[in-house]
Structures are given as structure tokens and as C-alpha cells.
């Protein structure tokens, strides 16, 4: 049995936290912009820190495991 929890969590967080896809923190004109399909170096850095924090919480602290037969 393979543990698919880390893979599933990483893919979902990557899609949700891609800068400019759903939201961008910080935006070009505002603090948060939604669906603008643009990005900047600062927003990439902020989204990377948020991604790292959430994946650390989900995988190490919570211990999400998904077993598929």
C-alpha cells in the first residue's frame, strides 16, 4: 500500500497557491487581487512561504495519510 497523502496535499496546495491563478498576495495595485493571471517576484516569495508553512503543518503536525489499495 502506498501513502498518497503527501502527494495529494502537495498537488492541491500547489494548484490553490499558484500566484495569479486564484489570488495574488501582494497584488500589483492592491494587497490581494483575484484571478488576474499575473505575478511578481514578491508574490512568488509570499506564496512560497505560505505553501511551505501549510505543507509542513499538514504533513508533519497533522500527519495526513491516504492509502489506496
Q: What is the pLDDT of residue 46?
A: 92
Q: Average of pLDDT values for 13-23?
A: 89
Q: Which tens digits make up the pLDDT trace of 39-63?
A: 888 989 999 999 999 999 988 888 8
- Look at the block and give the residue holding cell 487581487: 33
What are the phi and psi torsion angles at 23 (to 5°)? -145, 165
Q: Average of pLDDT values for 16-23?
A: 88
pLDDT range class, residue 65, cuts 50, 70, 90: confident
What are the phi and psi torsion angles at 15 (to 5°)? -65, -45
Amino acid at each position: 500500500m502506498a501513502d498518497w497523502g503527501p502527494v495529494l496535499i502537495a498537488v492541491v496546495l500547489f494548484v490553490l497557491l499558484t500566484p495569479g491563478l486564484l489570488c495574488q498576495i501582494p497584488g500589483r495595485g492592491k494587497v490581494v487581487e483575484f484571478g488576474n493571471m499575473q505575478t511578481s517576484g514578491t508574490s512568488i516569495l509570499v506564496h512560497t512561504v505560505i505553501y511551505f508553512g501549510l505543507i509542513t503543518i499538514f504533513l508533519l503536525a497533522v500527519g495526513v495519510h491516504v492509502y489506496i489499495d
